[in-house]
């Protein structure tokens, strides 16, 4: 619920920014990249609202680095 | 021109929407707590009843603490609930009370003796874990009575009985040694540290319980029922194993440097009468050492006291005061030695924290001893060395009315 | 023309607040779990290790000169590889840390202060402040660091010096029990979080009015925050004993809760929470600034401010996903140092070697 509010809020604020960008007719790149990043954010947010489990980077990190950590713990006992 | 105005308009609408959304959702309305939705708990008692916990809560009724109180209504309310965890019991209370219990002003936690013998670390876990509970309340064990009854009595000095109990415990720890005000911080340390075993003070009631539960208790100068802190309970790990009597409790306070001022009496030289000393400074330093591979502890007791009451027939001069000092010193030494021996032989539990001292000074040996430290403690040799000084004697020199032994010519 | 950037004093204060931010609340617990009562020795060892390792970063700063980190990276590694490494580095290190720090903050606030508040509210509130700060620029953040630094120091002093009467220094004995190994284990954690994140400060080198002042900022801030950590760790362990410290989730908050003198000087632990909020703000500001500036350079955009809001939104969403519960944070801490070493030791070492190789080739007359 709250996430939905924040998403809407972010889109609204971004819109204000967007108008500024459009007005100055600046580089297309800026508009493209910032909108696509916003799109990624909104999609992730909506996924989260629908309780879709998003992949977390930490599980990968934990998996890869756990052997090193265990080895160091044994070494430093 | 119009496009700028339109732009300004859009900006305004955007900002307004943003501000509105923010105030609606982020102003922290989730955790508001109205004062009249809270029942402030000042004491909790936990009894062991049929494998469950019976939790008794003493709460304050704030409107009865003000000047225009209704004399018929009492300022505290007692609620009692049974459940298998403390957390559940506290929430269950809302079925009887119109308010949620607020734990941040807790003054006192009481355990039933049966609960204490069963192990206190389980009920304490909730109080350690909850964020509302603060680490500044004291813990005690009730002897011979349920905590439900102890929390319901009407106390003579304060309107809130938990406040009376809390203050009495703190004051008596300072001024009369055989009690120990253990707060939850110290309990945590005693439970995790494997060189110390926990202790808790005992609380008992003296008098007629039925009369003490009503306001009649304080309607005349002598109350029918009053409370008394008595004895220090010895715990092994987290279970109560026994109680120390008064001299042993007193020397426990000495050895652990809890004493800030106390009074003791010693037998006069040459007669059965006694004289009283007020101790103003007491410090026991510990010197652990190893003799023949086993631990040995030397306690050096630095005590400084004043003569408070003399019933003896002697004159007080610089020779006799040395005599009194020797007698007092001998008595304190024997009290301390005997009590440590009592604890060693009767309970075999290191409540003084000697284990922690050995850990700090001899870590290598400690690693071997730590698994059965209580057995080591039970056989440890203790040496007590006294450094006792009597300094002041009060306003008068010799007791009035004594026959002068020798007149100075 | 005076380049609007950040003065050395402001940068020092910002870096100090950055380093305090992460470890103030959580680290005494992990340090005490590894090195027990010698946790303060871990702090000392960390400072020594950091001073030994700092030439790594100082040399890179010198080599960077006036270039931004991105230009330096592409100069070393070539355009395509440089940009790819940059983007991967940004997502994997500062952006991930951003999520973790947000999660830390909301965990703390919802555990200790507002249990019924959903974590999104905490995230959103602090992100609004961070977004405004980052869009305003480095100068503004530097100035606010200057202002808030003394408040933070004052609050730390009030909080921890009030504990002096109840400290028991025998809780710090025996020293060196178990030898150096546990102390070293603890110092690895402290080194990685927060000290080795100084590789992120390299992003700020071009903002200095004089690039050689960066080194001074770094050393001063490390020493200052190290001293503060030392005081805090000694105080916490001496007040609570190591067994209790290792078992508490937020030991510094708890230890300030125990202050109670004369029935009046008590119950001000929320002060520690405020100063943690301030330091977390500077942490989030630096991280978000690094990510936006780096990403903007990588895709060759002039104005990085346009990317701030989308990135903050992604951060807001991912902060909830990154770690599901508090015990997973505690276990993640065990592997986190080794992950950080990849980005903050291996990567700079590679960059240095490439730099030397290029210079050697340059000296041999081959044009680069």
The nearest CA of chain B is from the CA of C244 a distance in Å of 6
H/E element holding C344? Answer: none
**CATH number, domain with residue B260:** 3.30.300.210
pLDDT digits (tens, 9 = 90+) for B222-232: 888 888 898 89
Q: What is the pLDDT of residue B55?
A: 92
Confidence of residue C4 (pLDDT cuts 50, 70, 90): low
List the structure tokens of B375.
């057995």
Residue C284 lies in a domain: yes
Q: CA-to-CA distance for C78 and C82, rounded, in angstroms? A: 6
Domain ranges of chain A: 2-75
Asked if residue B30 is part of any domain, the answer here is: no
Q: Does B360 touch chain C (CB under 8 A)?
A: yes
Mean pLDDT, residues C146-172 taken together: 89
Query: Mean of the pLDDT values across residues B259-273?
Result: 84
% of residues, chain C, pLDDT over 90: 20
- Note the pLDDT of residue C1: 35
Q: Is residue C364 part of a domain?
A: no
Considering B244, B259, B277, which residue would you say is the last residue of a domain?
Answer: B244
Asked if residue C246 belongs to a domain, the reply is yes
Contacting subunits of A (3+ beta carbon pairs below 8 A):
B, C
Q: Which of B4, B6, B12, B21 to mutate to test the interface with A (most CBs of A within 10 A)?
A: B21
Are B321 and B201 within one domain? Answer: no
User: At residue B272, does pLDDT exceed 90?
Assistant: no
Asked if residue B284 and residue B180 are part of one domain, the reply reads: no
Answer whether residue C367 shows pLDDT above 60: no
Report which of residues C136 and B14 the model is more confident about. Answer: C136
CATH of the domain at C172: 1.20.1740.10
Q: Is residue B404 a part of any domain in this protein?
A: no
**Which residue in B11, B24, B25 is closest to A16 by CB distance?**
B11
Domain count, chain C: 1
Q: Is C161 part of a structural domain of the chain? A: yes
* B45 and B106 belong to one structural domain: yes
B1 assigned to some structural domain? no
d(CA C54, CA C223): 12
Which one of C317, C323, C331 has the shortest CB-CB distance to A41? C317
- The reply to whether A32 touches chain C by the CB within 8 Å rule is no
Cα separation values, C351 from A17, B98, C217, C284, C325, Å: 37, 67, 22, 26, 37
What is the nearest CA distance from C151 to chain B, expressed in angstroms?
25
Mean pLDDT taken over chain C: 85
Average pLDDT in chain B: 85
- Compute the half-sphere exposure of residue B63: CA atoms within 13 Å on the CB side of its CA: 6
Please, what sign has the CA dihedral across residues B129, B132, B136, B138? negative
Residue B257 lies in a domain: yes
Among B244, B262, B286, the domain boundary falls at B244
In this prediction, what percent of chain B has a pLDDT beyond 90?
19
Q: Chains near C, with 3+ CB pairs < 8 A?
A: A, B
- Looking at B204, B226, B244, which one is the last position of a domain? B244
Given an 8 Å threshold on Cβ–Cβ distance, is C181 in contact with A76? Answer: yes
Residue of A nearest to C302 (CA): A30
pLDDT for the residue numbered B209 = 84
User: Is B9 domain-assigned?
Assistant: no
Whether residue B236 is found in the same domain as residue B267:
no
Q: Which of C83, C90, C279 lies closest to C203, judged by CA?
A: C90
- Same domain? B158 vs B208: yes
Q: Does residue B292 belong to any structural domain of this protein?
A: yes
**Gap between the Cα atoms of B206 and C184, Å rounded:** 58
**pLDDT value of position C210:** 66
pLDDT tens, position by position, C212-263: 788 888 899 999 999 999 999 999 999 988 888 888 888 888 988 888 888 7
Instruction: Please compute, for residue B179, the number of CA atoms within 13 A of its CA located in the half-sphere on the CB side.
Output: 24
**Confidence band of B408 (pLDDT split at 50, 70, 90):** very low
Chain A residues whose beta carbon lies within 8 Å of the beta carbon of residue B11: 16
Would you say residue C130 lies in a domain?
Answer: yes
Quote the domain boundaries for residue B126: 36-63+73-244
Number of domains in chain B: 2
Contact A13 B14 (CB under 8 A): yes
* Shared-domain flag, residues B260 and B365: yes
Question: What gap in Å lies between CA B146 and CA B154, rounded to an integer?
Answer: 15
Residue C6's pLDDT band, with cuts at 50, 70 and 90, is confident
Distance CA C127, CA C320 (A): 14
Contacts of C122 in chain A (CB under 8 A): none
Is B122 in the same domain as B268? Answer: no
Q: Cα dist. B298→B240, B247, B292, B395 in Å?
A: 28, 20, 15, 37
Long-range contacts made by residues C263-271, C-beta under 8 angstroms, separation at least 24? C265/C162, C266/B136, C267/B134, C268/C158, C268/C159, C269/C159, C270/C113, C271/C155, C271/C158, C271/C159
Q: Name the residue range of residue C276's domain.
A: 8-353
Domain assignment present for C368: no
Summarised one tens digit per residue, pLDDT across range B333-367 is 999 999 999 999 988 888 888 888 888 888 888 88
Q: Same domain, yes or no, for B42 and B143?
A: yes
**Mean pLDDT, rounded, for B367-393:** 88
Indicate yes or no: CB of B17 within 8 angstroms of CB of A12. Answer: yes
Any chain C CB within 8 A of the CB of A19?
no
Give the pLDDT of residue C149. 93
**pLDDT in the model for residue B405:** 53
Quote the radius of gyration of chain A (alpha carbons, Å).
Answer: 20
Does B10 map to a domain? no
Residue B400 three-state SS = coil
Task: Please check whether residue B334 is in contact with residue B156, taking contact to mean a CB–CB distance below 8 angstroms.
Answer: no
Q: How confident is the model at residue B27 (pLDDT cuts 50, 70, 90)?
A: low
Task: Check if the beta carbon of residue B183 is closer than 8 Å to that of residue B173.
Answer: no
Instruction: Check A56 against C120: CB less than 8 A apart.
Output: no
Of the partner residues C299, C320, C323, the one whose CB lies closest to the CB of residue A48: C320
pLDDT tens for residues B246-255? Answer: 888 888 888 8
Q: What is the pLDDT of residues B57-91, one digit of tens each?
A: 999 877 777 776 677 777 888 999 999 999 999 88
Secondary structure letter of residue C264 according to DSSP: T
* B68, part of any domain: no
Q: Are residues B189 and B297 in the same domain?
A: no
Residues B274 and B346 in one domain: yes
Most confident of C191-195, C280-284, C333-337: C280-284
- On the question of pLDDT at A55 being above 80, the answer is no
Q: Closest residue of C to A52, CA-based?
A: C321
> Is pLDDT of B54 > 50?
yes
Q: Using pLDDT thresholds of 50, 70 and 90, give the confidence band for residue C368.
A: very low
C340 part of contact set with chain A, CB < 8 Å? no
Helix pair angle (A57-75, C326-341), 10° resolution? 70
With a cut of 80, say whether residue B25 has pLDDT above it. no
């Amino acid at each position: 619920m709250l996430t939905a509010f924040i998403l809407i809020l972010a889109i609204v604020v971004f819109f204000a920014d967007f108008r500024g960008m459009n007005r100055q007719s600046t580089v297309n790149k800026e508009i493209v990249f910032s909108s696509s990043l916003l799109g990624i954010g909104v999609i992730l947010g909506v996924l989260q609202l629908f309780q879709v489990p998003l992949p977390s980077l930490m599980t990968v990190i934990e998996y890869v680095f756990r052997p090193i950590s265990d080895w160091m713990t044994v070494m430093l006992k | 021109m119009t496009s700028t105005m339109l732009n300004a308009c859009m900006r305004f609408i955007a900002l307004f929407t943003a501000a509105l959304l923010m105030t609606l959702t982020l102003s922290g309305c989730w955790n508001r707590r109205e004062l009249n939705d809270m029942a402030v708990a000042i004491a909790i008692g936990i009894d062991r009843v049929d494998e469950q916990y019976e939790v008794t809560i003493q709460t304050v009724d704030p409107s009865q603490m003000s000047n225009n109180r209704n004399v018929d209504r009492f300022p505290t309310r007692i609620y009692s609930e049974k459940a298998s965890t403390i957390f559940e019991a506290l929430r269950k209370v809302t079925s009887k009370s119109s308010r949620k219990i607020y734990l941040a002003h807790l003054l006192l936690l009481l355990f039933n003796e049966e609960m204490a013998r069963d192990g206190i670390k389980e009920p304490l876990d909730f109080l350690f874990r909850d964020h509302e509970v603060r680490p500044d309340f004291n813990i005690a064990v009730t002897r011979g009575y349920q905590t439900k009854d102890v929390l319901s009595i009407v106390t003579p000095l304060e309107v809130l009985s938990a406040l009376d109990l809390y203050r009495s415990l703190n004051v008596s720890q300072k001024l009369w040694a055989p009690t120990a005000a253990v707060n939850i911080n110290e309990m945590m340390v005693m439970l995790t540290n494997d060189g110390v075993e926990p202790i808790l003070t005992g609380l008992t009631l003296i008098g007629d319980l039925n009369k003490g539960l009503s306001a009649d208790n304080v309607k005349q100068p002598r109350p029918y029922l009053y409370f008394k802190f008595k004895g220090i309970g010895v715990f092994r790990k987290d279970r109560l194993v026994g109680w120390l009597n008064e001299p042993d409790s007193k020397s426990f306070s000495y050895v652990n440097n809890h004493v800030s001022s106390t009074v003791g009496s010693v037998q006069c030289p040459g007669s059965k009468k006694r004289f009283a000393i007020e101790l103003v400074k007491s410090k026991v330093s510990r010197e652990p050492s190893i003799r023949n591979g086993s631990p040995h502890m030397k306690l050096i007791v630095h005590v400084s006291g004043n003569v408070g009451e003399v019933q003896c027939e002697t004159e007080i001069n610089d020779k006799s005061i040395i005599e009194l000092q020797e007698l007092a010193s001998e008595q304190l030494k024997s009290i301390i030695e005997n009590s440590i021996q009592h604890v060693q032989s009767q309970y075999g539990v290191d409540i003084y924290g000697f284990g922690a001292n050995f850990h700090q000074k001899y870590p290598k040996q400690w690693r071997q001893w730590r698994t059965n430290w209580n057995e080591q403690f039970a056989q440890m040799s203790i040496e007590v060395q006294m450094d006792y000084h009597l300094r002041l004697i009060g306003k008068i020199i010799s007791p009035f009315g004594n026959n002068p032994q020798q007149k100075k010519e | 023309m005076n380049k609007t950037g950040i003065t050395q004093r402001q940068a020092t204060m910002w870096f100090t607040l950055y380093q305090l931010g992460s470890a103030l609340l959580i680290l005494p617990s992990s340090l005490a779990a590894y090195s027990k009562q010698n946790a303060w020795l871990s702090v000392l060892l960390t400072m020594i290790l950091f001073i030994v390792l700092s030439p790594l970063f100082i040399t890179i700063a010198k080599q960077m000169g006036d270039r931004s980190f991105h230009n330096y990276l592409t100069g070393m590694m070539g355009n395509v590889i440089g940009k790819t490494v940059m983007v991967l580095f940004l997502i994997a290190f500062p952006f991930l840390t951003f999520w973790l720090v947000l999660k830390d903050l909301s965990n703390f606030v919802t555990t200790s202060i507002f249990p019924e508040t959903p974590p999104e509210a905490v995230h959103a509130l602090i992100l609004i402040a961070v977004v405004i700060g980052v869009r305003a620029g480095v100068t503004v953040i530097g100035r606010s660091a200057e202002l808030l630094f003394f408040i933070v120091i004052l609050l730390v002093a009030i909080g921890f010096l009030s504990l002096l009467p109840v400290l028991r220094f025998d809780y710090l004995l025996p020293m060196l029990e178990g030898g150096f190994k546990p102390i070293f284990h603890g110092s690895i954690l402290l080194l990685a979080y927060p000290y080795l994140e100084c590789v992120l400060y390299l992003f700020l080198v071009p903002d200095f009015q004089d690039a050689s002042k960066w080194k001074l900022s770094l050393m001063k801030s490390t020493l200052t925050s190290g001293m503060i950590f030392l005081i805090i760790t000694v105080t916490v362990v001496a007040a609570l004993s190591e067994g209790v410290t290792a078992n508490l989730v937020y030991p510094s908050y708890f230890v300030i809760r125990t202050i109670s003198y004369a029935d009046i000087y008590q119950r001000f632990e929320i002060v520690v929470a405020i100063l943690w909020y301030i330091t977390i703000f500077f942490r989030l500001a630096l991280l978000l600034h690094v990510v936006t500036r780096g990403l903007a350079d990588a895709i060759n955009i002039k104005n990085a401010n346009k990317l701030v809001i989308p990135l903050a939104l992604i951060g807001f969403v991912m902060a909830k996903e990154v770690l599901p519960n508090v015990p997973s944070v505690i276990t993640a801490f065990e592997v986190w140092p080794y992950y950080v070493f990849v980005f903050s030791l291996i990567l700079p070492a590679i960059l240095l070697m490439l730099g030397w190789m290029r210079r050697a080739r340059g000296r041999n007359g081959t044009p680069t």
